[in-house]
Amino acid sequence: MSENLNTEEVKAYDLVVSIGTDHHRFDRIVGWVDAYLELHPELTCLFQHGFTDAPKNAETVARMPRVELLEFYRRARVVLVQGGPGSILDAREVGVIPISVPRLAELDEVVDNHQVEFSKVMQSYGETFMVQDQEALFEMLDRAFANPDMVHGEVRLPQADTASENLARELAAMPPKTQTHDVKKFVRRASQIAMGIVGPKLRK
């Protein structure tokens, strides 16, 4: 896979899943997706699984260049990601509204629960569909495949405005225990693209 991506060679999957490259395992989401695909063998799925064991019922890759992953997002009917800032914001930059499953610290899937807090903030702006259990994920996937338009929107390009500052303040106001390096690193990026996310809504 190359950074000089020939987009004509990128396959369009029904479902693209990315759980990042954190060294913590994320077995829950792998099991849930495997179970869903078992029920829906007609669906094609690409699953980027990082350090977690690969699912059985999908085409898999441990990691890939960001430019290529974003092109797979762009072409997919539905995108499912971990609830991390980078994962959600990447999807939004190519016009995808992702379904997100936040990793949980109590299950040793991540060092803290910043993904839960971040996903809640982004869901409040209508920019992700956060789910936290298998039943909710199955229901959300059923809805998304029945109406793919609900998980696709405008491409969000980096801009700066009062709206971006509002979102940045919400992220910065997350509980102190969730203020990890990972979150702080993405607050600036969230600020830059937030105008593209919420600005048009505020102007309507």
- 98 vs 107, more confident: 98
pLDDT (mean) for 62-66: 93
Residue 2 has pLDDT above 50, yes or no: no
Q: Which residues contact 171 (CB under 8 A, 6 or more apart)?
A: 118, 121, 183, 186, 187, 190
pLDDT (mean) for 39-67: 95
What domains are there in the chain, each with its CATH number? 7-155 (3.40.50.2000)
Best CA proximity match to 57, nearest among 35, 85, 90: 35
